[in-house]
Amino acid sequence: MPSPKDESKTAEPAARGLWFTREALLAAFRRGGCPVCQAVVSSERQSIWSFLYEGMMSPLVRQDFLNGGGFCPRHFEMAKHIEAETWQTGGIGMAILCEQLLKQSEQALLRENESKANRLQIRKRDSHPRFAAGHGCLFCRENSRKEHDLVEVLEELADEKEYAALLAKNAFCLRHGQLALEEWKIPEKKTWLQELMLRHIGELMGDLRLFIEKHDYNRRGEPLGREADVVERAARVIAGAEVAAAERGGSHHENPAHLRRAR
């Protein structure tokens, strides 16, 4: 068992990590919608920038990227725009990565000319014998880890009035709400969250019904109230991160100043 001095040293990084998570979540709440979606969209941009700037130079990181089939389509588009808008020499890093992915695919195609026995052996070793873009996307995997971490932290922060009020105002999207209900440990908090989500869903359904009815021929002249933006609100709850990214310009037009530097 560590001494009290050792314990304080051990606890410091965890406390610092929680502080950074709190700040990230507060920023996410300010944007509205699911806080997990908003926090993940922000952090994935930083992760892709770091990968393009220096991570891809590491043989181990680059091989992990290649083994996963490169970027998934969404992260490919995001990375392309981040590089083009951040560096004067935009495009070179993406060109190198594409070249290596194509070289890897070329080698796989050449192996198809080997004997049937050899092909069977290769397929036993390789869980992805045919190329699939982003089948193990490095950034999708990282997002999944972050989602679980954020959901876990939010269970702890729900004890604080400030965060409980923010959660009551900005509901989880359906996917992250279900993830929280699966992973939260305290029954009372799970019940509170379930009731909160059901209330938000009920409000959305009521607004959607009113929106639909007011677009009926017989009521078309009635002015819209709070239901005017209900489709956008429902989309945030249903689609989550995809909508959060799209609302921020596909998530690739927002370049913080500290990410803008010449390569």
Give the dihedral sign, CA 97/89/40/37.
negative
Residue 176 near residue 143 (C-beta atoms within 8 A): no
Residues of the chain above pLDDT 90, percent: 44
pLDDT tens string 23-36? 889 999 988 889 99
C-alpha distances in angstroms, 244 versus 12, 39, 105?
Answer: 33, 10, 33
Q: Are the CB atoms for 189 and 158 separated by under 8 Å?
A: yes
Residue 94: both structure tokens together: 């993406």
Query: Does 76 score more than 80 pLDDT?
Result: yes
* Two structure tokens written together for 245: 């990214």
* 241: nearest Cα among 18, 78, 97, 80: 78
With beta carbons less than 8 A apart as the criterion, state whether 259 and 46 touch.
Answer: yes
Say if pTM beats, i.e. exceeds, 0.75: no
Dihedral sign computed on CA atoms, order 27, 32, 36, 42: negative
Q: What is the pLDDT of residue 253?
A: 40
